[in-house]
Structure 1
Amino acid sequence: MRSPHEVLIKPVITEKSMALKEDNKYTFIVDKNANKIEIKKAVEELFNVKVLKVNTMNLKGKKKRMGRFEGKTPDRKKAIVTLKPGDKIDLFEEL
């Protein structure tokens, strides 16, 4: 099994994800090969909270151009984690 630091890449800090925080939902960019069970275990182990639900979505990269050269931003996977009422992740509370 992979370590939690390999599964969770970074938190998503946007206006929309901060609004979800009020409903006890936290958003993370996760490894593309991670499943919901691995994501749940990683969050519970790293932050000592109880996870009720995990929603995932695969995001396609956008096409970008630099002059005549065309490229693409990488594909990524995002997970929205719902916690038990009363639990909080301190990483998000400082913002």
Structure 2
Amino acid sequence: MRDARDIIKKPLISEKSTMMMEEMKYAFQVDPGANKVEIKKAIEELFKVKVKDVNTIRMQGKMKRMGMHTGRRPNWKKAVVTLEEGSKPIEIFEGL
């Protein structure tokens, strides 16, 4: 198995993800080749919590323009992790 830090790239901090934390759901940017089982094991290893569910989403990179030149940001993968009932909340900056 790959290292947990190679699978979990960074936590996603936004208004929506902050509101989801009240429901014990956390969003992370993950390696595009990682599957749900690998993501679950990586989160449990890094943060010492029990994961109930993992939902993954492939995000399309946005088109960007600078004058007449156009380009695209890279595609990436997002994982929304739900923790077990009674599990301690994740301190986002603790494990990374």
**Aligned residue type for 2:9:** I
Q: Partners in 2 of 1:24 and 1:44 — Cα distance?
A: 14
Q: Which runs of 5+ in 1 are unaligned?
A: none
Matching of residue 62 in structure 1 with residue 66 in structure 2: no
State whether structure 2 residue 37 is matched by structure 1 residue 34: no
- Give the aligned residue type for 1:90: E
- Could you say what the CA RMSD is over the residues aligned between the two structures, in angstroms? 1.3
- Output the CA distance in 1 between the equivalents of 2:24 and 2:83: 6
2:92 aligned with 1:91? yes
SS in 2 for 1:81: strand
Q: How far, CA to CA, are the matches of 1:63 and 1:47 in structure 2?
A: 34
- What is the TM-score with the length of structure 1 in the denominator? 0.94
Give the 3-state SS of the residue equivalent to 1:10 in structure 2.
strand
SS at match of 2:92: helix
In 1, the alpha carbon distance for the partners of 2:82 and 2:65 equals 37
3-state DSSP of counterpart to 1:32: coil
1:13 corresponds to 2:13: yes
Alignment partner of 2:49: what SS? coil
- Matched residue count: 93
The list of structure 1 runs, each at least 4 consecutive aligned residues, that deviate by more than 2 angstroms after superposition, is none
TM-score, with structure 2 as normaliser: 0.93
Distance 2:12 2:92 in 1: 11
